[in-house]
Structure 1
Amino acid sequence: MYYTKPELRRTDEHSSLIKWYLSFQKGNCPDLEFLEVNTKLDSKDCELPVCIQALQMACPKLKTFRMLNVRPLHKTMRNGADSPSGFPLLEELCIATTSYSYMTDKDLWDILFGSTRLRVLDLRGCSRITPYGLTLLPCLELECLFWGQYFSSNVGLPSPKKGLHTVTQKWSRTLQQLDIANQLFAEEDLETAMSHLAHGTEADTLRSLNLSGTRITPPALRPVIGQMTALSYLNLSSCRYLPRGLKRIYRGQEDIRQLLDKLE
């Protein structure tokens, strides 16, 4: 069964977010397991100061943490104290946004340094996060990585990025869903990354792959399609390095198998 990405829907006002933050500063929620913060899609002021250390100490049992369409501004505690264990039970972190994200590798590490049980990581729109930052994370059995840059101002820039192969190598055994839409990694890097997925994953593990807007090439696609027998969703729309007629969304194993024949 697929994990369903949370929608960037219209909900709370910015003033409500500030009240939410202040309530955590004053209180303690030792049994809280689910926390979602969401704001309007058209909000012009969606920045929210968040002290991650305070939240980690207030909510040590948190399992799901979502901040949708919010730009968290990380603040430190006045006494300089750090949470000794972070979020040890966290299984899902979502920091998806429709606008510019301040999230850096260090910010991500400050949240996840103790989250060895993480299964779902949603970083849509977080253009500052790098492959190096992801490979440092302590979670070894990540199942879903959503890293598409749908709303990033960097989309369309010609400079190729590198390092994706280190990410797929790290989680090649466990990834079930991977979304790197509009991430402009170099062709060679993509080919190596797909090879890690094809040879490091069980045939029935990877089920969804979004490569829309990337520099994926036919040689890079062949091993993944040929090896991944459970792959049932493949997005190749706007992939300019593929032949005409192949740049679309494929659903179902039969549809994807037919694509393999065309790539031969």
Structure 2
Amino acid sequence: MDDPKHHRANRGIFGVRQSKKRPMMFSFTPVRGDEWPTSSDDSDQDFDINNCSKANYSDDGSDSTKHLKKGKQQKRKKSKKSKKERKTQSRKLKIKRRKVQSSSGDDGEPETTRHDDTSDKTSWSHLPTLILQKIFYYGVADGGAVPFLLRMSKVSRTWRDVATRPKLWKKVNLDSSTVKVKESKRFTGLTWLINNRFSKLENLNICNWSKLNQSTFENIVKECPSLKRLVLSGCIKLGSSSLEQITNGLSNLEALDISSITLPGKTLNPSGLSRFLEVRGGALQELNLSNNKISSWPGVFSPILKHENSMPHLRHLDLSNCLTFSSSLTVFPVESFQSACPNLEVLSLAGCDVVGSKVEQDLKESSCGFPRLEQLSFPVSSQVQRSSSLQQDLVQRILKTSVNLQLLDIRGRTSFTPEFAQNLPCTGVEYLYIGNCDETIIPLCTKWGHSLKTLHMPDISMKGDVTIASVLPSMTKLENLDLAGTDIDDSVVRLVFDSCPSLDEINLTRCRNIQRGIKQTFKGQRLKELAEKMTLTS
């Protein structure tokens, strides 16, 4: 008979026969060692030590090997399941989860508060195209279609279909200072946009495209017949034929900006500009010719100045720094412009050394003026010194009937007489920029102090603090005050804080009579701290 101790040594501590090749006693991984026979736990409850025999634990380990083979076969069958069955099972689970979520929505908890990534994705993918188009419309309202729609088109096919609709491509801003594109790819991208997206374009800004050539511009005019606003500022390579193309091809144009397009030593094409004004001037609302050289103002504007109300819709006219080769004064036909552009709201003559044309007194009195004018910008550099009487006469003729004037900029102009303020019909000016008008500043501030929000009067020499102090109490709406280079002292600064509760910014640079440490610009919280400091030291 065999020794039972010998059998127990061969079987191991769990009663399973050991293998010499795999000496590990027990492991849950069949590959690494002998696995314990898989069986139900119910038999353990009826276990009787008396029924144990050698047959139950034979030396050959036949029972254990049978159980191991069955376990391996079952695992192989499980691994043979196809991928389709797994997918169908996952789909069924998702459907069950959705049903559970929909049924659990009746427990009083709103469904919007339940966070589920799958539901969020499905909601955005199934969003109606009309709603998505409305969202995109608000996205392009301010900044334009580029780069917003280009980014949205990369999200999904549905978003791309909506983002490529021509209705959304009505405003495009391709200013070189805002759109960072390599020079080599700039024109290829512009050509692609022109041919694929610009069929219903209405507003195009290609400012500072210094290398924009004539052929590309011809393609713009040809493919964008619905253009209403065109900005070509800084496009210095456009030839004289560009104005002819605009005149013949853009019949719906309402606003044109061709500022800074002339090279040094060259002028704007007077015949092309005059023909453009004659043909398209009746529909124009904005015209910007600033920073260009013009051979002669009468030669350019003569077609529109011959007839009354020839540009009835013009609202904005910018002739800033429109210089001529002549060293003499440029004559500005005030009454003729008032007759041709009666609805003008913004007039800019900054840097222009101009005087009013000589007309009879009857024509001056019968002129309609600019009744809707709101902004007049007429500053000049301090190097230009002209007769104050001519400049004052020109401003008074321009503002003859401008009762709604809100902004007046006459910086750099020589001293006007105190009667200048009395002769102006406007009573509610909010923004006043003045300089070198020592005798006029107090009458103007007295007349408009109740409505002023911004007052810039740097480098004005005042005879005494009493003059400006007498005007400050009426400036209750003042928000921005520039006193740089004036001879005010600390008492005037305290009076400013006491009289102007709405003040948000003050410039005290180069003021020699005030204490050290406050000769700078104060704004926001720093301004409040300065006001508290001046109040404590009073």
Return the letter of the residue paired with 2:347: F
Q: Which amino acid letter does the alignment assign opposite residue 174 of structure 1? A: S
Aligned equivalent of 1:3: none
SS at match of 2:347: strand
Counterpart of 1:185 in structure 2: which amino acid? M
Q: How many angstroms apart in 2 are the aligned matches of 1:245 and 1:207?
A: 22
TM-score (norm 2): 0.41
1:108 aligns with 2:380: no
Any residues of structure 2 matched to 1:89-104 within 5 Å, and which?
A: 89-98=372-381, 99-100=383-384, 102=386, 104=391
- The residue matched to 2:432 in structure 1 has which SS? strand
Whole-angstrom CA distance in 2 between matches of 1:131 and 1:29: 35
Distance in structure 2 (CA, Å) of the matches to 1:46 and 1:221: 44
Stretches of structure 2 lacking an aligned partner (at least 5 in a row): 1-259, 261-289
Q: Which residue in the other structure is 1:158 paired with?
A: none
Compared CA separation, residues 44 and 136, structure 1 to 2 (3 A): same
Any residues of structure 2 matched to 1:182-201 within 5 Å, and which? 182-188=459-465, 191-197=466-472, 199-201=473-475
User: Normalized per residue, which structure has more helix?
Assistant: 2
Distance 1:183 1:80, change over 3 A: same
Work out the number of aligned pairs and report it. 240
Write out the 4+ residue segments of structure 1 that deviate beyond 6 Å after TM superposition. Answer: none
Rounded to whole Å, the distance in 1 between the matches of 2:314 and 2:421 is 26
Amino acid of the structure 2 residue aligned with 1:12: N
Is residue 322–residue 352 contact of structure 2 (8 Å, CA) maintained in 1?
no
Question: How does 1:131-170 map onto structure 2 within 5 Å?
Answer: 131-149=418-436, 161-162=438-439, 164-170=441-447
Alignment partner of 2:355 out of 73, 84, 102: 73
CA distance, structure 2, for counterparts of residue 248 and residue 233 of structure 1:
11
How big is the shift at 1:79?
Answer: 9.5
Q: Which structure is higher in strand share?
A: 1
How far apart in 2 are the matches of 1:131 and 1:258? 37
Residues 96 and 78 from structure 1, CA distance in 2 versus in 1: closer, same or farther, beyond 3 angstroms? Answer: same
Task: Check whether the contact 1:162–1:186 (CA below 8 A) recurs between aligned residues.
Answer: no
- Say if 2:339 is the partner of 1:52: no
Please tell me the residue identity of whatever aligns with 1:165.
I
Q: Is the 8 A contact 1:237 1:247 kept in 2?
A: yes
Partner secondary structure for residue 81 of structure 1: helix
Where relative contact order (Cα < 8 A, 6+ residues apart) is larger, the structure is 1
Q: Which shifted more, 205-214 or 83-92? A: 83-92
Q: CA deviation at 1:34?
A: 1.0
Task: State whether residues 109 and 137 of structure 1, in contact with CA within 8 Å, keep that contact through their aligned partners in structure 2.
Answer: yes
Amino acid at match of 1:259: L
Q: Is the 8 A contact 1:25 1:54 kept in 2?
A: yes
2:397 aligned with 1:122: no
Counterpart-to-counterpart distance in 2, 1:255 and 1:46: 48
Larger gyration radius, structure 1 or structure 2: 2
Identity between Structure 1 and Structure 2 (%)? 25
Q: 2:494 aligns with which of 180, 200, 222?
A: 222
Equivalent in the alignment of 1:259: 530
Secondary structure in 1 matching 2:318: strand
Change (3 A) 1:131 1:46: same
Please state how far the C-alpha of 1:58 moved relative to its aligned partner: 1.2
Letter in 1 for 2:305: Q
> Equivalents in 1 of 2:314, 2:411: separation in Å?
25
Deviation at 1:32, TM superposition (A): 1.4
Whether the 8 Å contact between 1:184 and 1:214 is mirrored in structure 2 is: yes
Contact 1:187–1:217 under 8 Å retained in 2: no
Aligned to 2:367: 84
Which amino acid is the alignment partner of residue 113 of structure 1? K
The answer as to whether partners of 2:484 and 2:510 remain within 8 angstroms in 1 is yes
Q: Secondary structure at the match of 1:230?
A: coil
1:157: which partner in 2? Answer: none
In 2, Cα distance between equivalents of 1:193 and 1:218 = 13
Alpha-carbon distance in 2 for matches of 1:177, 1:118: 14
Q: Which runs of 5+ in 1 are unaligned?
A: 1-8, 155-160
TM-score, structure 1 as length reference? 0.79
